[in-house]
Every structure is written in C-alpha cells, then in structure tokens.
A and B are shown apart, each in its own frame.
Chain A
C-alpha cells in the first residue's frame, strides 16, 4: 500500500513537473508563396490556449513539451504541428477554399466548415487581391460556384450585379444577392467599389437556407459577407503593396470590314445587285416581297459597268445620281479616272469613267494606289492607359489591443478616352479588451472615389448616341477618317499645327465631290476631352461595438454602424462641339445615402462532454435614407468654365441629357428578431436551426408587414464513425449535410407599397417658364396599387457532401439545391385596354434547381514545389412553375410573352418596356427566348426567308393553301413572320478554374472563368453589322463573299442591296423585331488573371530591412474566347437584348508589382 502510495505520488509529481515544464515557442506562418499570413489562429490542442500571428506572420506561445499546435485560418488548410524540442517553428499553410477545417464567416458569427450544416463558399484575401480590379465583384467570377456577375459596361469604379443560384424572383431586379459588409447589410449600388480589395480579409458566400435564414427576408437570393482585415497581436508590421501597368482593350473586338478595298468591293456588289435585280433598286415595296432576280433589269455586263461607273453616285435610281452612302470617300488614287459630276450642290458626286476604282469584275483596280487606310477611329481612341495602385498597411497589437490601418490609392482609367477612375481610401480597425469581460472596437473606413465616365446618358448603357466613342469606332462608315485629308491623302493641319478633325461635310478632299460628314457633326476628340460625367463620391463607414461576457457562457454584443455615401455628380456638355454646341449645358446632382444599423446579439456557448451547443438571439434595426438634389442650366458665356454664374438658362438643358431641377427623398426601415441554435454531438452529428421575424416599412398595412422565416439543417460526418475507420488511410473527412427553410425577399416591392401616389405638376409657357411660375397646375393619379402585396417566400432545400481525401490533397463539395419561390412578385401581363400593360401580384412560382461542384487538388506538395488546382462549376435551371390562369394566352397555347428584363443593379440595359423577348409558360425555362426565325435565303429572289406557322386566316386569304394549318413554312413576306422559342438564355454550365504553382522562390497563379451554353442576342450585329446594304455603317467581315447571288447560292446572308431596306439583311425587320440571325452561343472562356511572382531570398530582403520582398507581373482579362467576335456574354445573364448596341467592352490590364513587409 505504501509502495502504491509512493508510486501515485511519484506519478502526480511527474504530472506536476511536466505541467510546470513549459516553454515558449515562436515561429512564423506563411502561405504557399512564402508571404506571411497575419491573423492565423494558433491553438494548443487540448488546452484551449491560443494566440494569433502578427502581420509579419510571427507568433509566440507558451506550451508544454510535445504539445500539438493547431494553425487555422480562413481559406487555408488547418495544420497540426507537434512542437517537439524546437523553439522556433516555420509553418506553411496551403490555400484551400473548401477544406473541411476552414473557418467560415457566417451570419452574425463564425463556424468551422467541418461543423457547419449550410452551404458556404469562402474566398480568401489572396484570391481577391491578386486580381487588378477596382471592385471586388469582378474577382468573384469563376471563383465561387453558383455565382454570376454582370455589368452592362466595362467602366472601372462602378459595380456589377451579383446573382447566386439563379434568379430567385420573377425579375432580375428582385433577384439580387444581399451584400453584407462587416456585418451590416448594404443597399448602396456601389458599396463594394468603395472598398479597397486589399482591405478585405475574406468573403463568405452564403447560399442555402441554413446559412441565409438568419438574414430572413433579405436572404432568399443568397448573401455575400465581406469581412475587412483587423490587427493581430505582435509587433508592428508595415506592408507595402504597389502595382503599376496599363489598361487596354483586349482581344475582344468586332471583326469589321476595315480594309478600304473590301468596303468598296462590297459596295460595288450591292450596287450591282440593286441595278440588275432590284425593284426600284431594292426589294419590292408593294407587298409582293420579291426582286427581279428571275427577270434581271439588265445584263451582267451592263450592271457591272454601271456599278463601276456609279460606285459613288448610285442612290437607288438608274437615272438620278447623287452622293451615296460611300460619302464620296475616295481613299485611293486611281490613275486615268475621269470624274464627271453627276449632281451639283451639297450632295454632289461624280460618275467614274476612264478607269474605275472597282473594275467591272468586282475587284479593286490593281493600279489604284492607297492614300490612307480605313478604320482610323479605333487606332486613335482605343488607348493604353497608365494604371497604378498602392496600398500601405500597418497592423499589430498587444494582449489587450490590436489595430489595423491602411491607406491606399488606385488610378484605374479605362482604355477609352473620357473614362477615368481614382480612389483614395483609408481604414482603421481597433479592438481593445478592456477587462476580461468587456471588449470594444471600432472599424472606420473612408473612401474618396472619382469616376469619369464617357458622358453619354444618365444610365450606364452608352447607347447609340454621339457621345459614345464605340458607336463611332465600331459603327460608322470605316472609310471616314478621324483627321481631314487633302488631295494627296495627307492630314490637313490647323493653323496651330495640330491635326484637323474631319467633323463636317466637305472638310476633307475628294475628287468626286463634297465628302460626307462623320457619323455626327462633331469633333469627337474635343467632345470626349471636354464633356464631363463625373461622380465624386465620399464614402464613410463607421462601425463600433461592445461585447460583454457574463455568466461564463454568455456574451452580449451591441453593434452600431452608420454608412454614409455622398455623391456629387457633375455633368457638362461642351459648347465647342456635340449636342449642345454653342450653348453648353451644366448639370449637378447631390445625393446622400445614409444607412443606420444597430444590432444586439446574445451568444451562448456550452460544451459538456461530447455535446456542444451554441445559440444566438438577436435584434436588428435598419434604416435607409436617401436624398437627392438636382440642378441644371445651359447657355454659357465662357467656354468650358463650369461656374454656376456662367450659365443662365432656367429649366432648359437644350438637348443635353440632364434632369430638370428637382429632388427626391426616400426612407425605408426594417426591424428584425432572430435566433440560431447549433448542436454538435461528438463532431459527428450536427443540427442547426434558425429563425427570423422581419418587419418592413415597405408594406403599408400591418397585416402584410411582418414575415417569419426559418431553416433547419443537419450534418453527419461519416468519417468520424467507427465503421469508417478502415478508410482513414485515404479518406480524411466526409460529411453529408442537408437543410431546408423558407426565406424571404422584398426586393420586388416598391419603397411605399400600398400607397396611391399622385403626381402634382404644372404647365408652363415661355413667358412664365423663365420665372418658374406655373400657368396652371395639374394633378394626376398614379397607376393601380395592389394593397395586398407581401413578402416573397422561397422554400429552399439543399443537400451536400463535403470530402477530403488522400492526405487532404483533394478537397471538394457537391451540392444539390432546389429553390422554390412560391409567391413571387410578378408583373403579369394584361391587355392594354384595362389601363396598363401589367399587374403586380404575388402570383408566380419560380423554381431554381441545380448542382454545384467544387474541387481543390494539391497535385504536387513538397518543400520546393507545390501545385494546386481548383475547379468549380454549376448547372441550374430557372423554371416557371405556376402563373395565374388569366395570364395564359389561348393564342399561345397557354403560354405568355414577356418583355425585356433589364437589370438595374447591373447598371443599365435597355428599359424599353413593351418589347417582347421571352415566351413563358408553366414548366418552361423562365428565360426562354422568343424571336423571329431566319430561314435562310429564298433562292428565287435572294431575299431573307422567315418562318411562319400557317393559320386558318392564311387559308382564308389564299396563302399557303398547300400546307396544313399549323405547318411551319418560310416566306419572304416578313409581315407574316412569327416568333418561335429559341431555348433558354441560361448557360448549361458555369464555372471557373484556378491553379497555383510554387517552385522554390517562384510562384504562379492563373484564374479562368467559363460558361458553356446559353444564348446571347447581339443587338449590335442585328441592327448594324449584319445589315449588309447599309454601307454607310460598319459591317461584319462575315458578309464578305457570303451574301447571296445567283452564283453564290449557298451563302448564309441574303442578297445585299444598296441602301438599307431594313429587312433585307435578315437579322431584323423593324424596331426590336429581331430574328435569330444574331443570336449567338453564349459560351465563353475568359482568362481572368495570370500572375507570376518571385520572392527574393531573405538575404536580399534583409538588405532593405524587410521581412520579405516579392515582385510579380500580372495580366488581367488577358483573353476572351467567345462564339463570336466582339460579344461579351457576361454583359447579360438573360439573353442580351437589354444590352443594346454600341457596347462598352471590359478592359484588360497588364501590370507589375511589388510586395514588401517591414
């Protein structure tokens, strides 16, 4: 007994000694490329003791002998390291996006992915900061499965629309993902553009009910949680990140006929066809829809000679000649040519003889000598612009206080003249543990943004207006030079020696007569340089909190935040040229948006044995205020002086796209109660439930105002089961999870639903408009008000599997989801005779169903060489499940038509309501395109054929009597053309591919995004580039040799006739009457980023007293492969018609950079 006692005492002593024998371990944590990782949590396994790494990646912690340290960090693999005898440990964490051990930021808290039952994708800071973007939104494309981003233009500094797992509502505008920055929901359109991507620590993308239900009525379309960086304990780390390069227009361009030779030869063919086969020069306009192909007007020889002689003065008549669409632009010297004037005056031209520019064989005269080339606008206006970006951060902390501060600047102009973007930002995040039970903190950010957009119109869609340089470069007759040319083809100089712009008729020389003016009578250089559409924004984000720990497991946190976005917009139209020439116009807009948010959160964490419970109860109040003041004036005295005193017009913008003086005030508020409980049994079984009750001011009536939303989720980590022990040699983790819930959406509800609004106006006359005193008043009632509108409810089911195999070399997730919005706010079409064309009701059911796959593979993982591949992809369908019976049109077999679905948050898109774009029906894809169908070329007339379905009325009127009713026939009579379903605009598969390599000191990263399937209608092609007879416009190169003639019967395009008889091209037969000729496959592959870096050795870094030093070269948006030249399917997620023509394509960037840490 005594011996036993001694043994026990000895054992206790040993334990005590070992407990006492502790030591301090220090070390440094870096990422795969050797860069220090700040904020990595270092935990001593089994004790709960922890610390985190400083900004330079270093840490210190006291441990017992042979302790196991666990290193975990958002977006990186968790590593366990046994301390052994080392006092200094170097740890490298590999970046894995879907590792089971990843720490996730979720709604109002954090969770380990291993334990979590919801579907969340985390994006780490490196993935964000590697790319050269002015807004973080672009960086998400191809990186997060299920996400789609879109923007109508390539303007830097303005944000994009974000959609997760399809359109969850009946319109794009009510299907936006919710953006939450540092815990606060934001509804400001450019909120993400106001943040320096290098200030972002992580982004969590919440997708399913389990993860989004805590956001209740705003979570149905998914949530993006953006978390900014904070300081970590340790000595101060100073980091400099600087990058410089240039922006340019990449390979995505329209393949136009830009060679003057081709333009002339094509024009010759059009004239030849018109003269020989035309009815009065074109197709007949007497309702017979025919040509004279079968009975030519003249012989081949006569027509060929005619076309050669009248290349420049044929206008449709065989007897009456004048300057034609070629505009007398003669870019060649033709020896021996005789120009006989065919008309005098401003439309004078000449008939050629002696020698022709295009010989009767249809080919350019080989003796012709080119004086200057075509297509000069693109050469001049698509520039390489200098880009620079610098960020300086400092961080550190003690046991009690941590801090993070950053300042940054970005200058990111677009490649197009008249576009600039600058941003200066500062951020400070300080947290202090005042006592063991009280912690406070403040996170403040300020951003100054200055965006100069091409001064086109109020929306971002640049459109077919003269201020849009793309309309000129890609739209006008490519023969017209930017600078005026003399007889020898030399540029004409101004008296001051500068090049003279050809900005009006007759400025350039032509041997034929007066040269035509450019697309608009405008000096485009001056217009782009002097016109202004400038947005100066001051964004202030103030956040503070206090956390009180009490009763051991409980903590209470109070958050208060206020975001203020102040935007001053200046619009100016120069008086020197353009739409307000000689007048000048000024417009100013002052807009303030304030978002107040306060949250009170009560957290409870309890572990007992193998049981762990966490619970959250919270309350949130959210208030959004916006006010806008608008002013405009015109008629200046001093050119380009923007003082108010220089403009005198009242209530008159003289044609400039400026809003009349006025203003608006808006306010909304939400109040919410929510809670969440999560239960973890032995790290194997997980249960979670959350609920939220929201009240919104958007609903006028109490009975519709409050909604309750909830979710339940469960997870099962099979790999933790005993029966799976046999797989432990290859299977590291395997978890099944599923969740279901009902989430809400109020995006489709107006701010003041239920209120009948009245418009109060005035009638002015010239005599009283100057004073603003109305001649009389007007008052009118607004549209119909549906007083019973309420929340949309989305029933969301998600089932997923997370796995990690082969020593965690392969990590992945697969998710299946089914989102069913049962009472979607739906603008159902009604007959116009009822007073309006649609009725908004909670009456549609829209389902989004799909799968997502995410895979990360460490292909090679050793000390000197690491190679990681990330793959992700998603497939989904948006299906209309149910609509009211009254919507179903008998004429369409129970289906109905729908108009263009422009997306406001993607900033623009055509808003032309009433233009049919989709055919919808129950069980059909929601974005099922509905267009006229081009049926090839009529071999007897050369005219386009369109499909038509035979009706009873046809037989009654003697048409298609040989075909059965319901048969599909083709006809040249475009007035009989019918629309047909063209299939879904939504791609079959969307995804991305990332790869990173590290070999010794070199690192390499590539990010690609792709899409397979889907459809994109190019209005540019339909309205312009395929209208083959419009030789006064830019045309697609595809037309060359591919327009129908009796000798070229296999041609894709119809016969080309001189002039644009609007339907002979086949791509359209009237305003918004598009055929599928310009409907293209929306598949694409975009190489978003390639970065090659080099880490200098510590020996070199030490020379500048740096902890590390890295240089890199990076290329963004480096290549875009699409089904057709010049189209960017990312501009639209729903088919493209809303994009319009004359598009502003995204830019590409080449840059070099330097990272240094001190």
Chain B
C-alpha cells in the first residue's frame, strides 16, 4: 500500500510540474484576426506580389470612404450614419427641397433639418456626425499613408497609385470640414480659422490648434496636387472604372476646392481635364424616372434612369455599382420606396418657385410631377399613400435595379461626381475669372443637352425664359440648382458660398415657410473637440 501511495504522490507531483511554470502556454496570438506581425512579415518578405497585395488592400479602402456607412455612428440605415444621409439632410436645409406635404409630420426623418431647427450648436447630434465622418476619412487616410515611405515608392512605382488614393481621401475629408465648419472662403472665411492639420495617425500626439483657412486650403491643394503627380507617375489616367480614384476624381475635387476658394484658373484647368474625357451628357431618356405604365399602376424602371443606374449615365466620374453602392440616398429620395422617401410620406418635393423657373422645353421639368401622383399601393405592406404634387420622380423607381420584385425596391447604383457639375463649375469659374460669354458658352453645352426632344429651338442662355436679364453667374446659379437638385446637399453648400439665405416665405408649396441666414450655416466646432483639445478655438 505504501508503494502505491508513494507512486500516486509521485504522479501527482509530476502532474503539478506539468501544469506549472509553462509560460509558453500564455503566448496566445489572436486566433481569429490578422496581426501586425503577420503584416510585417509579408512586408519584409521581399515578395513583391504579396507586398502589393497588402498595399492594394489598404488602398482599396480609400474610394469606399466616398460611399460610406457606419463611419459616424453605430448603425447604417440612418440619415446620420451614412454620408448619403448627411447629404440629404443638407438638401433639406435649403430653399429648393420640401419634406412631405403637410404639417404634423414632425416625426419624419429630416423634420428638424427641414424645419431649420438646431443643427449647428456644439452639442447637437446633428452637428457632430459631419465632424465624425470627415475625421473618419482623414484618420483612415493617415493610417495608410504612414506605410508609404519614399523608399517603397521608389522601389515600386505602382505603389504611387495607392498613396495617391490616401492623399485624395485626406483632402476630401479636410474640404468637407471646411465646407461645414467655417464660413465660405469668399464670404469672409478666408481670414478665419481652418482645421487642425494632422498628417499622421497617433492618438498620443499633442493636440494641435486650428490652422488658418489659408493654411488648410494649402494643405488640401498640396495633397491633391501631389496625388495628381503620383497618379501620373503610376500611369493612372481617366479610367473606365467609376469606383476608383483616378485623375477624374482628383481633378473634380481640385475644381470644387478651387471654385470655393476663388482660384478660377485652376478650376478651369481641372474641369477641362475632366470634360475632355467626359464629353457625353445624359440624354432625355436617361434623365430621371419615367412612367412606363399607367397612372393608376405606375412603373418606373431604374434600369433606364441614369441617376439610379450608372450604366445609363455617361457622366459618372465617381460612382459605385449595384451591390457595392450604398442605397440610402435612393431610400430617402424615391417616392415609391418603402422607407423614408415613400411610404412614410417623407416625400422630397421641389419648391414651386424653382420648378416654375425650369423652361417648358427643358426636360428636367419632367423630374417633378406638377400634379399629384395620387394614391400608390406600396407593395411590401400593401399600404396605400397619396403622393402629392411637386414630388420628384428624378429618383423614382417602383422596382429594384436588376430585379422584378417590387417589394425589393431600392436597389440602385450610386454616384458622387458627374460631368454636369463639372460643366457648371467651369462656367462659374469662367463667369468670375474669364468672361460672361465664356461662361455662357459652357452653360449652353449643358442647356443643349437638356433641351426637350422635339423642342423648336435648342435652349441657350439667351432663350431660356427664366434667365432673361440674369448675369452669367446668376444663370450658373439657377442652372446648378436645377441640375443638381437633391444631389450631395450641394444647394446648401452653394448657398453658403454664394451668400444666399433660406427664404421660403414666398413659396406656395413649402410646408415650413421660414427664413434662415447664411451666417447660421456654419457649424460650431463640436463639444468633444472643444472639451478635449485645449487649443481648439470655437467659431464666432
């Protein structure tokens, strides 16, 4: 017995020793995720194809930030969690878009924005989402850019393309901040503060104060110009792929920044570069939704609508294909949709004052239903709702793109930059920096493309009824409002830089007839930044 006892004790001691003092068992690497060590191993491997794969993977994220959901909050299907939703909110904060058709619909998504409630105070949740989205872009770009050393770029020119993408996104983020968080450059913003400039990602680094507006735009333009150079060296020009960052995208941003800052020559040069490659504009057939069936049972097919199907839109410079594209914009704008553009009655309608300025021979007038579309049975729930007059059919679809099931309505492509806006930016730059005639010549190209089939005369600046007596700049402004109605919140931003306040008092169909000054279109720096960046200075 004693032997057994000794034996068991020995075994127990052995067991104890086996389980003891083996710190190696505590070396557990993440079993489910790729780690920095694995990435470092690839980068140190000398395997060019693998290294490119890593950098390409990082760079592929960059264009997706133009098509972002979830960067500003925890959800995706919300007007504040997607860049498309943020843009729609901006569109509701102007003169030209109406939300719904009656008072008492205050619970609609966008009601606060439409009623011009508080969206600029530092603590407002309707402010900070814009701040977060832009910094989300800047941070992602900075995280990537750290990896692109000069040595690497010298060794592999292909990587220049990848670096350029990061620079473009960073410029985009900073420009987005400037559009929202400072007065427009040409309206006094040039002498004010810009944004704190970070060119690397390190949350431990000291806070920075806001740079001046001048410094900020220098930074933005430098990023864009460097990107142009890098893309050129990498052999990237104007690509057929609308979902990548190419010369078209960089020049578009450069043009946008240039017209904002009054750099007319650069704007014209950038626009010309794009227009040389995007000379074809949408046709009447491609422009907006068309009812291919009866009034009682309408059918608007997205396949033929260039705003919902990039394949039918030769103007798209930056856009994303079906499946990859966020479709929240379509959800908010489509009156036949099952979400916040349709069945919930949050119809997006045009101000009658703008509608009446659209020439009878201008087919863009067909993008809005002057009379009520009437009752429509929304198929998912079988709910019938009344679609009122002046509702847009620019983004109307009763079916999903690529499908026939009406309950799946909403599937579409997405676009963010298109050639018509380039024409308008060029015309504006010419009106300001070259001559009125040059601007009109450019504008006429757009008007010609927008002239209704069968019209007796092609529309021009001189025969467009509503433009009689207008300056070239005013013509550009009017045509921009018509052409870009509902797109990218541009009316809000343009109102800011053109110093046009919101004044809906003379509208016949606005639900909330109110006014809003340009001075209140500049957002305050959000609370978080003011509290935890002691160097941050609030806007006046």
The tally of CB-CB contacts under 8 A between chains A and B is 301
Are A896 and B380 closer than 8 Å at their CB atoms? no
Q: Which B residue's beta carbon lies closest to that of A437?
A: B5
- How far apart are the CA atoms of A316 and B111 in the complex, in Å? 14
Q: Which A residue's beta carbon lies closest to that of B112?
A: A1062
Are A784 and B36 closer than 8 Å at their CB atoms? no
Are B125 and A1072 closer than 8 Å at their CB atoms? yes
B386 neighbours in A (Cβ, 8 Å): 345-347
Q: Which B residue's beta carbon lies closest to that of A1069?
A: B118
A1073-B28 CB under 8 A given contacts A506-B384, A758-B33, A766-B322: no
- Among the 9-residue stretches A353-361, A667-675, A709-717, the one with 4 or more Cβ atoms under 8 Å from chain B is A667-675
Are B383 and A505 closer than 8 Å at their CB atoms? yes
Are A833 and B198 closer than 8 Å at their CB atoms? yes
Are B31 and A671 closer than 8 Å at their CB atoms? no
Give the contacting residue for B375; candidates A345, A435, A834; CB below 8 A: A345
Interface set, chain B 51-73, CB cutoff 8 A to A? 53-54, 56-58, 60-61, 64, 73
Interface size class of B (residues with CB under 8 A): 35 or more
B19 neighbours in A (Cβ, 8 Å): 598, 600, 619, 621, 671
A836 neighbours in B (Cβ, 8 Å): 139, 203
Instruction: Decide if B45 is an interface residue (CB 8 Å cutoff).
Output: no
Interface set, chain A 449-488, CB cutoff 8 A to B? none
Give the contacting residue for A667; candidates B31, B57, B118, B538; CB below 8 A: B31
B22 neighbours in A (Cβ, 8 Å): 671
CB distance from A830 to the nearest CB of B (A): 5
A670 neighbours in B (Cβ, 8 Å): 26
B12 neighbours in A (Cβ, 8 Å): 546, 548, 556, 558, 600
Interface membership of chain A positions 639-661, coded 1 if the CB is closer than 8 angstroms to chain B and 0 otherwise: 00000000000000000000000
Interface set, chain B 1-41, CB cutoff 8 A to A? 1, 5, 8-9, 12, 15-16, 19-23, 25-39
Give the contacting residue for A891; candidates B37, B374, B526, B530; CB below 8 A: B530
Q: Which A residue's beta carbon lies closest to that of B533?
A: A831
Query: Sorted from nearest, which 7 A-B pairs have the closest CB atoms?
Result: A316-B103, A779-B57, A766-B323, A521-B381, A756-B36, A315-B104, A831-B533
Interface set, chain B 382-438, CB cutoff 8 A to A? 382-386, 402, 407, 411
- Among the 9-residue stretches A237-245, A249-257, A320-328, A1000-1008, the one with 4 or more Cβ atoms under 8 Å from chain B is A320-328
Give the contacting residue for A505; candidates B23, B126, B384, B516; CB below 8 A: B384
Are A911 and B198 closer than 8 Å at their CB atoms? no
A832-B528 CB under 8 A given contacts A757-B34, A914-B128: yes
Give the contacting residue for B26; candidates A325, A669, A760, A781; CB below 8 A: A669
- How far apart are the CA atoms of A438 and B11 in the complex, in Å? 14
Are B74 and A784 closer than 8 Å at their CB atoms? no
Are A777 and B512 closer than 8 Å at their CB atoms? no
Interface membership of chain B positions 500-540, coded 1 if the CB is closer than 8 angstroms to chain A and 0 otherwise: 00000000000011111000100000111111111010100
Instruction: Decide if A280 is an interface residue (CB 8 Å cutoff).
Output: yes
- Among the 9-residue stretches A35-43, A153-161, A677-685, A694-702, the one with 4 or more Cβ atoms under 8 Å from chain B is A694-702
Given A316-B103, A1070-B112, list of 20 further CB < 8 A pairs? A281-B104, A285-B514, A345-B374, A598-B15, A600-B20, A619-B16, A619-B19, A619-B20, A663-B32, A665-B32, A667-B28, A755-B33, A757-B34, A765-B323, A781-B58, A829-B532, A835-B198, A836-B203, A889-B534, A916-B123
Instruction: Decide if B157 is an interface residue (CB 8 Å cutoff).
Output: no
26 contacts between A and B (CB under 8 A): A280-B512, A280-B513, A285-B115, A287-B520, A315-B102, A346-B375, A548-B5, A550-B5, A623-B25, A669-B28, A697-B25, A705-B26, A755-B30, A766-B321, A777-B60, A779-B60, A831-B532, A834-B203, A890-B534, A896-B532, A912-B73, A975-B118, A975-B121, A976-B121, A1070-B112, A1072-B125
Are B1 and A435 closer than 8 Å at their CB atoms? yes
A85 neighbours in B (Cβ, 8 Å): none
Are B513 and A889 closer than 8 Å at their CB atoms? no
Instruction: Decide if A22 is an interface residue (CB 8 Å cutoff).
Output: no
- How far apart are the CA atoms of A317 and B529 in the complex, in Å? 41
A768 neighbours in B (Cβ, 8 Å): 323
Instruction: Decide if B201 is an interface residue (CB 8 Å cutoff).
Output: yes
Instruction: Decide if B205 is an interface residue (CB 8 Å cutoff).
Output: yes
- How far apart are the CA atoms of A324 and B103 in the complex, in Å? 9
- How far apart are the CA atoms of A324 and B380 in the complex, in Å? 23
A347 neighbours in B (Cβ, 8 Å): 102, 385-386
A1070-B124 CB under 8 A given contacts A758-B39, A829-B528, A1059-B106: yes
Instruction: Decide if B237 is an interface residue (CB 8 Å cutoff).
Output: no
- How far apart are the CA atoms of A665 and B30 in the complex, in Å? 9
CB distance from B152 to the nearest CB of A (A): 16
Interface set, chain B 98-155, CB cutoff 8 A to A? 102-107, 111-112, 115-118, 121, 123-126, 128, 131-132, 135, 139-140, 142-144
Instruction: Decide if B44 is an interface residue (CB 8 Å cutoff).
Output: no
Are B58 and A779 closer than 8 Å at their CB atoms? yes
A705 neighbours in B (Cβ, 8 Å): 23, 26
Interface membership of chain A positions 376-404, coded 1 if the CB is closer than 8 angstroms to chain B and 0 otherwise: 00000000000000000000000000000
Are A695 and B135 closer than 8 Å at their CB atoms? no
A1059-B529 CB under 8 A given contacts A548-B5, A705-B26: no
Are A281 and B34 closer than 8 Å at their CB atoms? no
- How far apart are the CA atoms of A960 and B147 in the complex, in Å? 53
Interface membership of chain A positions 898-941, coded 1 if the CB is closer than 8 angstroms to chain B and 0 otherwise: 00000000000001111010000000000000000000000000
